[in-house]
Amino acid sequence: MSDAKSYVKKIQEQLHEKDPNQKEFLQAIDEFLPTMVPFLEKHPEFEEANLLALVSEPERLIQFRVPWQDDKGNWQVNRGYRIQFNSALGPYKGGLRFHPSVNLSILKFLAFEQIFKNSLTGLPIGGGKGGSDFDPKGKSDSEIMRFCQSFMTELARHIGPDLDVPAGDIGVGGREIGYLYGTYKRLKQYDAGVLTGKPLGFWGSKVRTEATGYGAVYFVKHLLNDLKDDFNGKKVIVSGSGNVAIYAVEKLQELGANVVTVSDSNGFIYDETGIDVSLLKEIKEVKRQRLTAYAEQKESAQYFAGQSVWDFDTSADLAFPCATQNEIDLEQAKLLVKNGVKVVSEGANMPSTLEAAEYFIENGVLYCPGKAANAGGVTVSALEMSQNSQRLQWESEEVDQKLDDIMKNIYEACRDTAKEYGEENNFVLGANIAGFEKVAKAMLAQGLV
Ligand code: NDP
């Protein structure tokens, strides 16, 4: 075994020993570290500095109590978290997730991936993530507001426009960011740059809402362009029906693809005439209803209750998982390959299990990992920080063009780095090495503090 290989294995073993119960974090580590071997063979100085051990340890973990009162007057308590993982390239940056499954392992995996995603954007942002095991489903608007106010009452002391800048994620959209921002402002001062994903009326960025979904599509647009191909007539499976999924569907349809599915945690919609994105937005963003409402209003739509869209046996060209982690397992990956899927672009974070991702790569699927393909959201968040510092709001066309340009750069960095290390089309390896190199160099130059 080469030196680099045994070093990587040693660090993996140490991390497994330290936190044996952090399943998702260890999955992200097991995906990332082995791809560092060829890089360390070329750059032994990073191994000498024990950089992999350093980069796998968060700079700071914050956990706090979030008490709040429900509409019946009962006191509830949830856990709040913020992981400040790495600040080598700039202030910690990453979303807040409100979902009952949230725990330290999930947030550590998300924050770890965020370091390299943010590095890939080429913008001055470090990596972080946070959230709560609070379940927003079925809560009234006032309950959401009270929860957000209590959450920010503690979080405010740990964040700031030049320190740590949270944004949204699952369960946290414009409404929640508005409530969180209001409380921050009351406790500290007017400082728009402390949160991104703000509504447009108080210094949000145009195209932020659309950015993650659009970005995942732009990534594939540049990939298809290399193959002298485009989206015209392509049949696409999308999962999820939240922020990322809606805008992935919108951009895919705009570029000529036919998206036939969307899903939520209760089931999925198959609409062979193509998902009606205006109807989807009305149901999810305005009325905050479930997907069953879509099937009730669209005659061509079929609703499959209690089933995963990834078990649906239908031919397709492209797949965009945009719901959550580990939604595609090995069997489902096999089904996608059997059904002709040639490109998988991850709008969600780590939606494919390690085995599923390996199967895609081994079987020639152009597999675009979340940390590269879904970087559009954080890209426009960083552009929102720039606009807030300038006290300016840029036009949609300008932001959209910058987003497209940055997604092109990210795609090319993944492509070229994979090629440089003799693993053509292995965008996982390309993304990991290209993302890590900048962070590692900065850490080394800063004296490994
Ligand atoms: P939303 O809360 O807007 O939507 C999440 C969607 O995924 C919903 O349709 C939800 O269904 C579904 N979902 C969530 N958990 C599960 C589950 N356990 N099983 C099945 N379906 C589930 O979140 P976003 O669209 O913002 O985020 C989706 C993914 O994209 C996440 O992985 C997130 O980390 C990632 N991401 C988001 C970014 C952003 O800018 N928002 C940026 C980069 C990545 P239901 O309503 O039934 O829960």
CA 439 to chain centre: 19
- State how far the alpha carbon of 373 is from the alpha carbons of 33, 95, 141, 218, 321, in Å: 19, 16, 33, 8, 11
Instruction: Check pLDDT > 70 for residue 396.
Output: yes
For residue 200, give the DSSP letter: G
- For ligand 1, the distance from its centroid to the CA atom of residue 349, given in whole angstroms, is 9
Q: What is the DSSP letter of 22?
A: -
Q: Report the alpha-carbon distance of residue 443 to residue 445 in Å, rounded.
A: 5
* CA dist., res. 167 & res. 209, Å (int): 11
- What is the reported pLDDT for 2? 73
Annotated domain spans of the chain? 60-189, 211-373
Picking from 219, 229, 134, the residue whose alpha carbon sits closest to that of residue 413 is 219
Centre of ligand 1 to C-alpha 169, Å, is: 7
pTM: 0.97
Q: Is the pLDDT of residue 1 over 70?
A: no
User: Which atom of ligand 1 is nearest the CA belonging to 262?
Assistant: 9
Here the tokens at position 227 are 């193959």
- 137 classed as catalytic: no
60-189 and 211-373: identical CATH topology: yes
Output the residue whose Cα is nearest ligand 1's atom 15: 324
- What percent of the chain stands above pLDDT 70? 100
Beta bridge partners of 343: 318, 366
pLDDT by residue (tens digit) across 163-203? Answer: 999 999 999 999 999 999 999 999 998 899 999 999 999 99
Q: What is the pLDDT at residue 288?
A: 92
User: Which of 129, 221, 234, 235 does the annotation list as catalytic?
Assistant: 129
DSSP for 123-192, please give it.
Answer: SS--EEEEEES---TT--HHHHHHHHHHHHHHHGGG-BTTTEEEE-BTTB-HHHHHHHHHHHHHHS---G
In Å, how far from its chain's centre is CA 116? 12
- With vertex at residue 77, the alpha carbon angle to CA 85 and CA 155, rounded to the nearest 5 degrees, is 35
Residue 273's contacts (CB-CB under 8 Å, 6 or more residues apart) are: 300
Query: Per-residue pLDDT tens for 53-80?
Result: 999 999 999 999 999 999 999 999 999 9
Distance 170 CA to ligand 1 centre (A): 5
Give the span between the Cα atoms of 277 and 298, in whole angstroms: 12
The token pair at 384 is: 């929102």
What percentage of the chain's residues is helix, strand, coil (to nearest 5)?
A: 50, 15, 30
Instruction: Indicate which atom in ligand 1 lies nearest the CA of residue 370.
Output: 44
**Helices 396-420, 376-390: crossing angle, 10 deg rounding:** 130
Query: What is the Cα–Cα distance from 429 to 418, expressed in whole angstroms?
Result: 6
Give me 353's structure tokens. 């299990």
> 60-189 in CATH: which number?
3.40.50.10860
* Residue positions counted in the chain: 449
In this structure, the residue with its CA closest to atom 43 of ligand 1 is: 374
Residue among 170, 309, 407 whose CB has most ligand 1 atoms within 8 A, to mutate: 170
- Torsions phi, psi of 127, nearest 5? -120, 135
Closest residue by CA, ligand 1 atom 27 = 170
Which residue, judged by its Cα, is nearest atom 10 of ligand 1? 264
Mutational test site, ligand 1, from 135, 165, 177, 264, max ligand atoms within 8 Å of CB: 264
Which residues, judged by CB distance below 6 Å to any ligand atom, belong to the binding site of ligand 1? 168-171, 212, 240-245, 264-266, 322-324, 347-349, 374, 377
Query: Which CATH code of 3.30.460.80, 1.10.3720.10, 3.30.70.330, 3.40.50.720 fits the domain covering 211-373?
Result: 3.40.50.720
Please tell me the distance between residue 239's alpha carbon and the centre of ligand 1 in angstroms. Answer: 9
Average pLDDT of the residues of the chain: 97
Query: What's 122's DSSP letter?
Result: T
Give residue-wise pLDDT tens across range 78-120: 999 999 999 999 999 999 999 999 999 999 999 999 999 999 9
> Which is it for strands 318-320 and 235-238: parallel, antiparallel or unpaired?
parallel
Distance, in Å, from the CA atom of 407 to the CA atom of 405, rounded to the nearest integer, reads 6
Tell me the pLDDT band of 15, cut-offs 50, 70 and 90.
very high
